[in-house]
Amino acid sequence: MHTTNDATPTEARRRFNLRSDRLPGLLFMLASLFFFSFTLTGRWSSGAGIGARLFPQLSLAVMFVSGLVVFRSAGKKEEKKKFGDLDMRLVLFFLALAVLLFFAVLHLGLGVGVFLYLLAMFLFQLRGRTDFFRYAILPAFGISIFIWALFTYFVRIVLPTPLLF
Amino acid sequence: MSELFLQVFEGAFAPSVILYTTVGVFLGVTVGAIPGLSGDMAIALLLPLIYRVAPAAALGMLMGIYKGSMFGGSISAISFGVPGTPAAVATVEDGYPAKLQGRPKQAMLTALYSSVTGDLLSTLILVFIAVPMAKAALHFGPVEFFALYVFALMMISLLVVGEMKKGIAAAAVGLFIGTIGMDPMMGSVRLTFGISSLRGGIPLIPLLVGVFAVSELLVQFGKECARLSGEKMAAMEEQARELVGYDPAKDRMSWKIYRSTFKATLVGSGMGTFIGALPGAGSSLAAFMSYGLARKLSKLQEEFGKGSLEGVAAPEAGNSATAGASLIPLFAFGIPGSATAALFGAALVMQGINPGPMMIEENKVIIYTLFVIIIYATFINLFLSRGLIPIYAKLSRIRACYLVPTVFALALLGTYASRNSLFDVWILLAAGLLGIFLRKHDFPLGPFVLGFIVGPGAEKALRQALLMGRGEWSFLLKSPIALAFYGLCILSLALLHFSALKKKIVEED
């Protein structure tokens, strides 16, 4: 069994590091194998025959082969640094706020929900500043009015009756 | 004939249509000028909102965004050395040095005039080529169409900037996701895992908005560039101000200057039109190839990279010329030539127009109206941008920390509003995460989207062809047109393989 520790040469460790560019190839292969086996069981469709199965299986086969090629060729080229500093915790925080925005819009109202969401975002991004009123509250208020007017009068969004505004 | 002409004239020059197109151009230049936002993103964001707008006005607006964003990218590229869109990366090479030499106006106007020239030429080619090509495509059957789909998918995977294998993998994922929901032939439900909302398939708009817009916004937020971009550009502007004492008298644009860049503009227009018409090649590739070719053909090669106006004209004409040309495959065959054309195709579907060879025949008035709008949108772009360049340059300094949350809220609410469905919002967020995964690992988004959009059509063509051939796969090779498409696929693969091999040998030497 291959194990790694601090004494393992860096090159060897990098080769077996699944967080590198081998991950997408592996994921593509695993996903295609999972769905391919799924298409064979008969539970995947409401009465599909061979014809209905053909195209999904063909695309899964291409996905598996290209995933294998991506997996095998990983590490040959230097990885792009473009996303090196991408913080997934921030991404998840942003997504969580988006979900909260929706619940706020559905329960409190469009204007209030958007204002709270924007205020939270601006306060988070401009943390460290002291003049919140000028840099966070005022812009959040102005943009909320714009979004509220856009979706109320132009797009005419249909929402349940809100608690507030 | 004269009745058709009148209807087209009335439709194209209705005040509301002109207004929407003008707003579209303004929005397009603005989002193009702001680094991090792009024309694709703006079109994706507006898709859910155009349900309630008349087809000509809605399509005119989207066309205006497409055209405006092509030029808009050059504004921040020249002003701050930060390309507003990926298509403007090549413009930085000479545009920013020209600004540092005290010629920002000349560089900006050269970019505008060459952009408009390239755009106009490719639009005229679209108008004159799409109709005969669509007529020829009427003779295609399922065998030929399946071969055409394979060719389009192969080309978009091969020609994307980046690695070919990743393009093919992304296209395969798109094809597979496109099979979720109803089977296009028998109507049986596939891969829905019991979720009734998936019976109609993955909805197009949330997927497009998620992959194009939400993933980019999430990446920007995740990198906290929101805090930095405004400050970075202000610092670069300060640096430029210190380097040169600006003299407006020396920075006047003239007919002579335009004429001196005309050859480069024509080179860029030709290259951009050719590359734009190929499925998948895209505006960034067109800009770089135009720049390279113009440099090779120029008498002042040594000036390139040091603020040459030819070096500004060629990539700008090249990237703008892809705007009209990339719509040729969409209008003629119903197959989008680029990710932006795919978004445009989605807008057509939303307006009740199904892209394909019958599209022009069945929707003569609206399509000819659209042709007229596409042409005059170019002139709106010229006059609007000519007057508003200083304002656009200021707009490009809007802080991303305000833009990112605002645009994200618009994306969420717009997607919800299009069908009043919370399910669409979850699809949007999931597509955003998928988009991040693809971007992070350098998988191109174009093939993924094209795979998703053409998948059902390709499946239908394949199964119809197999039914006609009584299950014989060799039936797919019985048409000379289909054979020609497969031959082109093999030829393209071989050419790319040998050019990569040659490059490797040269590098080793």
Residues of A in contact with B190 (CB under 8 A): 44-46, 48, 52, 56
Interchain proximity B402–A49, CB inside 8 Å? no
Residues B323 and B453 grouped into a single domain:
yes
With H, G, I as helix, E, B as strand and everything else as coil, classify residue A45.
Answer: strand
User: Is residue A38 pLDDT above 80, yes or no?
Assistant: yes
Interchain proximity B425–A139, CB inside 8 Å? no
Residue type, B392: Y
Which pTM does this prediction carry? 0.78
Query: What's the mean per-residue pLDDT of chain B?
Result: 83
pLDDT at residue B18, as a whole number: 94
B395 touches chain A (CB under 8 A): no
Instruction: Out of A44, A63, A110, name the one closest to residue B190 (CB).
Output: A44
Residues B456 and B505 grouped into a single domain:
no
User: Is residue B305 pLDDT above 60, yes or no?
Assistant: yes
A80 touches chain B (CB under 8 A): yes
Interchain proximity B190–A118, CB inside 8 Å? no
Residues B426 and B501 grouped into a single domain:
no
Residues B224 and B346 grouped into a single domain:
yes
Q: CA A16, CA B326: separation in Å to the nearest integer?
A: 42
List the 140-169 stretch of B: residues with Cβ below 8 A of A: 163, 165-166, 168-169
Query: Predicted confidence band at B500 (pLDDT cuts at 50, 70, 90)?
Result: confident
Interchain proximity A101–B409, CB inside 8 Å? yes
- Best of A37, A66, A124, A141 to substitute, by most chain B Cβ atoms within 10 angstroms, is A66
B191 touches chain A (CB under 8 A): yes
Residues B470 and B488 grouped into a single domain:
no
Domain that holds residue B491: 484-509
pLDDT tens per residue, range B325-362: 888 888 888 877 777 888 888 888 888 887 877 888 88
Q: B147 and B346 in contact (C-beta within 8 Å)?
A: no
pLDDT at residue B215, as a whole number: 86
Q: Who wins on pLDDT, A155 or B449?
A: B449
List the 90-149 stretch of A: residues with Cβ below 8 A of B: 90-91, 94-95, 98-99, 101-102, 105, 110, 114, 117-118, 121-122, 125-126, 139, 143, 147
Chain B: give the shortest CA distance to residue A150, in Å.
10
Query: Predicted confidence band at B439 (pLDDT cuts at 50, 70, 90)?
Result: confident
Residues B501 and B444 grouped into a single domain:
no
Chain B: give the shortest CA distance to residue A15, in Å.
17
Among A14-23, B226-235, B443-452, top mean pLDDT goes to B443-452
pLDDT at residue B242, as a whole number: 55
pLDDT at residue B233, as a whole number: 53
pLDDT at residue A77, as a whole number: 59
Sequence-distant (6+) residues with CB within 8 A of B166 are A66, A70, B441, B442, B443, B444
Residues B432 and B496 grouped into a single domain:
no
Instruction: Out of B168, B404, B441, name the one closest to residue A66 (CB).
Output: B168
Interchain proximity A94–B222, CB inside 8 Å? yes
As for how many domains chain B has, the answer is 2
Residues B175 and B239 grouped into a single domain:
yes
Residues B489 and B400 grouped into a single domain:
no
Interchain proximity A155–B414, CB inside 8 Å? yes
Residues of A in contact with B191 (CB under 8 A): 35, 38, 44-45, 56
Q: CA A15, CA B412: separation in Å to the nearest integer?
A: 40
Residues B507 and B464 grouped into a single domain:
no
pLDDT at residue B240, as a whole number: 56
Interchain proximity B439–A110, CB inside 8 Å? no
Chain B: give the shortest CA distance to residue A53, in Å.
9
Interchain proximity B412–A98, CB inside 8 Å? yes
SS3 per residue for chain A = CCCCCCCCCHHHHHHCCCCCCHHHHHHHHHHHHHHHHHHHHCCCECCCCHHHHHHHHHHHHHHHHHHHHHHHHCCCCCCCCCCCCCCHHHHHHHHHHHHHHHHHHHHCCHHHHHHHHHHHHHHHHCCCCCCHHHHHHHHHHHHHHHHHHHHHHHCCCCCCCCCCC
Residues B368 and B489 grouped into a single domain:
no
pLDDT tens per residue, range B86-112: 778 788 888 888 887 888 888 889 999
Residues B415 and B311 grouped into a single domain:
yes
